[in-house]
Every structure is written in structure tokens, then in C-alpha cells.
Structure 1
């Protein structure tokens, strides 16, 4: 016969958090060691920090690094989360363990974020007391959140992405303030790889700046929308038919990317220099980008006005004859 597990109220097992549960955990630290797969030794109770705060338990791992343990025989709250972080900092610990009766979703997310975003390791465990039939109650610690190499790797990637976003924002801010960037001067700098404005002649055709870690360009970007590749190709092909005239007006060769089967087509002037180059070189890169953009606009704009777009029935449509003035 198989017996059923019965949950026992925590306060029936440990009436007082500090005097009963924390003392019990100090004497049975191996239960926690097994739950987080860390060997915790040299455990001390009610350890005082320099700020007179009192940590429930402080232990060490096998390398001698401090492990902070905070207990809460109730639903997790912001106060204990703040204490956990404060104690970790005050004790110069590398690991923090938070044991709660009921972990709230926002605290689960917070510790997962801390594991990704910091060098410390954070554990969140749910504590229950169980018995089988008339057996004595036993602790059940369930790991809810813990560190992982995958999580740390994700955190490093996010940090790198955030750094790139801030670099691109500075790059675009300086570019649109350039005296020759008049066409884009009214745009709001962003964190993306491109900064663009509508051509004002054909919907879906824009004049974009684009930048990568090591390259930059001015481009005509043709994107009429999802599933509109046929119209993109019509516009591209009519411009490509004027390739010699456009490149002569531009004053050099351009890169023509038809990109059949893709969402967009592109005509670009590559100028070199990227947002990961030293910031002291950005001004020269912006000089080249704005010069290329102004020449590209002047070379392409007259031919955009002559573009004809045919729908599936061979009818004209989709052209806005408004000019840039």
C-alpha cells in the first residue's frame, strides 16, 4: 500500500522563525547543502554586519567564500529581498540563499535577473513540511531559482547588447547633430543599427544611415511591407536600369542588392568606420556618411519620381507624387 504525503503547517513544526527554524537549519545545514548542491560549512547564526543588521545564517563554501542565508516562514516580500542584497554586500559574500514559505512571482523574476546580471549566485527555495501517515514531520526544500552557466552567459550577452545600444545611441545623436545631416536632423536618435527618413516620393522607400561594429553606409532602402516583395523588385529594377546615370551623378560606384525572396532591397554607399571604433574617429565617419547620403539623395531622387508600380492586374498604383521640395 502506498501512503499519501500530507503537508504540515510550518508554524506547527517551527513556531518561531529565529528561535526554532533558524536554529534547526544551523544544526541541519546538510539539508540545505543537498538542496543547492553546495557544501556549506562553518555556519554562524545571527551574524552582525557593520551596519548593525543581523543575518540569519552565514556559512562558507569549501573555498572559504561567505554564503548568506535569509529565512522567511511566510510569503516572500520586498523587505527581505532588500535585506538579502544588503547582507550580501555588507558581508562581501558571493552567494545568497533565500528560504521562503511562498515565493512570489516578482521575486522569482528578480532573483533570476540578479543571477544573469551580477557575479554573485542567488538561490530561492520554497520550504514545506510534510509527513507520511503518522510519521514525524520532515522538511522539503524545493529549488525555485538558482544560478547556471547558461543564465550567466545570457546575462553577459544582455550586458554586451546594452552596451552596444548605448554606443549606437551616442553615435546617432552625434550624427544627426552634424551640420550636413539636414535630411535627418528632425529624427530622434535610437539604439538600432539604422537611422532613416521616408523618401517622401514613394511609400516604403527611405533614405537610411546604417552602422555596424566596423562599417557604415548611406542607403536607399526599399521596403513596401510584408509580402510586397514584387513591388520592391519593380522599384529596384527601374532604378537599376538607370544605374550608370545614378552612379555618375553620385560620383562613384554603389552596392546594388536586389535581395530577391527577402523583405527589402537596398542600394548603398559604403564609407567604412563603425560604432565600435574609437569615439574620437566618429566625427570623420559622420563626415563621410553625411557626404555620401547627400550625394545619394541627389542622384536617386529624380529617378524615384519616374518610377511606376504595377499591381497584379497591370494597373498603376502605389506611387505618391509628393516631392521632397
Structure 2
């Protein structure tokens, strides 16, 4: 076997002394290096392209004819260059942004990953180094740190869907709580939330009257949970209330679901309302009315027994 050389890294400033005059100019003339690193095909490269009152290091076109902005930074990635990259992308209405740095900070790696999940544009963060073997001329080594992918797009779509659901749930609770205030003081001091439930104390520690909203159904409940290491106490409270099941359901005006939840810490007594949930916006008035009616009856039926408990 012949002699095998060792790869040596060279300070980038020894190869390209000036970022704009040397490195950016070299990249303009050798864009194929970038094409190979990213497996894309960039052409029509233009240096110092105007973007409003600013100038982009490099602007190119991809195979579809869409603009690609390229921002170079010989040094550690910083907020200023990230801001420039986003500004150039939006001003030129480009579809792809490439940020080339010598030292990508972890915070900027996460930021570019987030941009790929949260926007329709494609963002690349690349690390550039200069290397050589023995006395060979220096050569560029470009490593892809972050880039767009189907996985990032799927994550972004899922996050958007979850965010939209959070907004919908908030509006669901906002409207329900406003209507409830006109009929009962039970949840009068409670604010809307993005969560799947809102609740208030039932007069004893660890007991709460909760409204719960799922995608296509809702419920009201007395939830029993006194926190860490309280399973036995929670079950004892439930069992005490269970003794009054017949009278409680008579006062409520119908059957309830008595869930001791064996093997779990908490317990609940609830009434399911199958008329619709937070995704069924056209049914909200009907669902809200049924939930408020059920909550008023549930509190009235259980409160006498809760107040008498010695727990």
C-alpha cells in the first residue's frame, strides 16, 4: 500500500483573507462546490445583488428559476447575519436561503431548524473549512449542518395544526366561561386557557369541578387528586362519595360515570356530553348550554356530601 496522507485543516483567513473580496468572489466563480455539497443545481450567480437598500452577498437561481440568497460569514454565526438572511429572503421573495459560516453556534442551528419547520422557505446552514493533504493546494470542505427535509416539514405542519387547535380551544373556553358567568358563580374567576380543561376548587383540598373538551365530545366532572402519594386518600374520598351514588344521581337528574380509576392516583365522577367538542364550532352554542346545565346540576348534587366529608 502506498503512503496515505493526513488531512490538515487550515485557518480560513490564510486562504481567503477578506470575506467579500476573496471568499464571496471565489464562491461566485465556483458555485459547483455548493451544488455538490447540497445536491442542488444553482446558476446565474450574481454578487452584491441589491435588496432594497441592502446588498446580498450572492443571489442565484435554482432549477425551478426561483431565487436563492446566500449569506457568507467567516467567523462564528451571529444574530446580525441571521437577520440579514431573513431580510434578504423576504425582500427578494426568494424560496431558499443559504448561510455559510465557519463556526455555527448551537443556538443558530436550532433557529434554522425552527425556520424550516415553521415557514414555506428552505433554509440551509453550512460550515466551511479549508483543508489540504501534505503540500497540496488548499481545498474547501463544506458540511451541511442543517437543511430542509420532509421530516422537518411534517413537524412544522403538525406544530401548526396544534397551534390552530390551541387557538380554537381558547375561543371555546372564552365563550363557555362568558355564558357560564350569567348562570353560576362557580367558574366566575377562571380565565380561558389553551388546555383541554378548565376547573375550579370544589371546597375541599384536591377536589375540583372541571369542564373538559375533547375534539368531538365534552364532559363535566368532579376530579379528585390531592397530589403526590395521595392515591389511598383519593380512593377513600371517592368511596365516601360513592356511598351516596343513588341520591346523587337522583339530585343530578340522571346517571353519572363513577370512575375509581384503579391503578391510577386520581378518581373522577363525570357526565359525558356527546353533542360535540371544540372542533365542532357550529355546535358550540348547544354544547356550551349542555355543559353549563350539567355543571350546575353536578355541583348541586355533590356539594352537600363534599361539605360533610371529614377528609
Q: TM-score, normalised by structure 1?
A: 0.88
- Partner of residue 218, structure 2: 216
- 1:268 counterpart residue number: 270
Kindly tell me the number of residue pairs found equivalent between the two proteins. Answer: 306
1:298-321: CA deviations, max 9, x gaps? 10112223446xxxxxxxxxx1xx
Counterpart check, 1:95 vs 2:85: no
Q: How does 1:1-325 map to 2 (within 5 A)?
A: 1-49=3-51, 51-178=52-179, 179-201=182-204, 203-271=205-273, 272-278=275-281, 281-307=283-309, 319=311
Contact map agreement 1:99 1:127 (CA 8 A) in 2: yes
CA–CA distance in structure 1, aligned partners of residues 152 and 235 of structure 2 = 43
Cα RMSD, aligned residues only: 1.8
Of 299-308 and 133-142, the range deviating more from structure 2: 299-308
- Give me the whole-angstrom Cα distance separating, in 2, the residues matched to 1:235 and 1:158: 39
Q: Measure, in 1, the Cα distance between the counterparts of 2:277 and 2:97.
A: 41
Q: Distance in 2 between matches of 1:18 and 1:284?
A: 65
Q: Which moved more, 1:288-297 or 1:52-61?
A: 52-61
TM-score (norm 2): 0.91
Tell me the alpha carbon deviations over residues 43-68 of structure 1, each in whole angstroms, 9 at most, x when there is no partner: 2222223x142222222222222221
CA drift of 1:249 comes to: 0.2
Residue 219 of structure 1 deviates from its aligned partner by 0.5
Describe the SS at the equivalent of 1:253: coil
Q: Secondary structure at the match of 2:186?
A: helix
Contact 2:203 2:307 in 1 (8 A): no
1:123 alignment partner, SS class = strand
Q: Which runs of 5+ in 2 are unaligned?
A: none
Moved more, 147-156 or 233-242: 233-242
Deviation at 1:69, TM superposition (A): 1.0
Q: Which runs of 5+ in 1 are unaligned?
A: 309-318, 320-325
Structure 2 partner of 1:311? none
TM superposition outliers: structure 1 runs of 4+ over 6 Å: none
